[in-house]
Structures are given as structure tokens and as C-alpha cells.
Amino acid sequence: GESVGLHLPTLSVQEGDNSIINCAYSNSASDYFIWYKQESGKGPQFIIDIRSNMDKRQGQRVTVLLNKTVKHLSLQIAATQPGDSAVYFCAESSGGYNKLIFGAGTRLAVHP
Amino acid sequence: DAGVTQSPTHLIKTRGQHVTLRCSPISGHKSVSWYQQVLGQGPQFIFQYYEKEERGRGNFPDRFSARQFPNYSSELNVNALLLGDSALYLCASSLEGRMNTGELFFGEGSRLTVL
């Protein structure tokens, strides 16, 4: 399928390593943040979310960290697998009606 | 259960033409949002509809319009197509209207190419 992110920054990791994808968000009033994974030819898929009253949230193999002081969000993927290869987007919301502001995206390439 | 379904999946139009894209939300979801994703960029918010009313609009010209039907499905219409309208148009649905109350589920998108 057509590539989602031809000119996106790329993070290359070895299978089994941990991956950290970073995102700077723009609006200090944003109170809800989401990470999405988008594979080529598909729509974004929800990974994990975090509200502004938290600074860390863990899911299965994924952890999101939020630093409101510097408006920074990160996604940590443990034991990265080839199936994790995709473009990852962070998105922010300021409590409005489903209006998400997406970041530029990072391509994760997992090598065996 | 079916996820968010969009049609058509791919279409080609010429400049000046009109296009209608369709979206069926997940059963029980009352909110539908539309996003435009230009190649190499993140999705950009176009519209949100909740309970058949427009609840939000992004920074898009009046050539873009949408509506939500009583069964909560939605259409996105774009008039007087420009080359720059070439993009993947994503529909997303959620149970309620506000982001903080739940996840947003995306469809696979409609790939529009304007020649």
C-alpha cells in the first residue's frame, strides 16, 4: 500500500530492543493525549492514552510519559517486534468535541 | 462487530469536480469526525458531528461540508476540487461527543486523487 510517511523522521531499532518515540505538543491547555499507530494503507489505531492529571500510564508492552512542564510526550515500546513497524502519531485534545491535533509522526523501523 | 466503514476506498477526480465520501460509524456510536491526511503528514481535523449536529469545524474552506444522518452515518462533500485536496480522508467514530470520555476509532479511509 501507499506509504503513510515518506518524509517522516525514522527510528530504527533491532528486534527485541526497547523503543522510545518522542513528541512535543503545542497547546498548554491540552488535557488529553493519545498515541496512534498507523500502518501503510490503514487508518490510525489507538495504542494508549493519558490525561493531564497523570504523568505515566502503562499498557501491554507500552508506556506513555507526560511532562507538562516542557510539553513533551513519549511512547516507550518494550521488546519491539517486527509487527510494531509503522508510523506513530501523538495527538492532543483540549477537552473539545473530538478535535484532535496530531503531531508530525515518527516512522518506526524494526530490523530482525 | 464491524468497525468504522468508509466508501469508496479509492477514487480519482479531476479539478473542479465534486466528491461525496461516506462513513458508517461503529454500531451505537453517536459521534463522527472527519480528518484529512495529506501524504507524509498527520491527520488534520475537518468536522465533528454529534447527534446530527455540527460540533466542531477545522480550518477548511467552505468547499468542504458534511452532514450526519438519523442513523448516525455521515457524508463529507467537497466541491470545486483542487489538486491540493488529494489526500486520505479519514472518518472516526466515538460513543460520545467529548474526547475525554472515550476512544476515537478510525476507519481505513478514502484515498482521493485529484488530477
- A43, A89, A98 ranked by CB distance to B99: nearest: A98
Q: How do residues A68-85 score in pLDDT, each as one tens digit?
A: 999 999 999 999 999 999
Give the DSSP letter of residue A2: -
Sheet architecture: strand order including B19-24: B5-7, B19-24, B74-78, B64-68
B8/B28 Cα distance (integer angstroms): 22
A57 closest CA partner among A85, A88, A34: A34
Q: Which residues of chain A make contact with B103, given a CB cutoff of 8 A?
A: 34, 46, 49
Give B101's pLDDT tier (boundaries 50, 70, 90): low
A with B: how many residue pairs have Cβ under 8 Å apart? 87
CA A70/CA A25 separation, integer angstroms: 9
Q: Could you give the dihedral angle defined by the CA atoms of residues A78, A29, B55 and A46, in that order, rounded to the nearest 10 degrees?
A: 0
Query: Testing the interface with B: which of A23, A97, A101, A107 to mutate, by most B Cβ within 10 A?
Result: A97
Which grid cell sits at B43? 491527520
Give the strand pairing for A45-51 and A32-38: antiparallel
Single out the residue of A26, A108, A98, A20 nearest to residue A64, CA to CA: A20
Which one of B58, B92, B100 has the shortest CB-CB distance to A95?
B100
Instruction: Dump pLDDT digits (tens) for B48-90.
Output: 999 899 988 999 999 999 999 999 999 999 999 999 999 999 9
pLDDT tens-place string over residues A9-42: 999 999 999 999 999 998 888 989 999 999 998 9
Of A2, A8, A97, the CB nearest to B98: A97
Please, which residues have CB within 8 angstroms of residue A72's CB and are 6 or more apart in sequence? A22, A23, A24, A25, A66
Q: Residue B99 and residue A97: Cβ atoms within 8 Å? A: yes
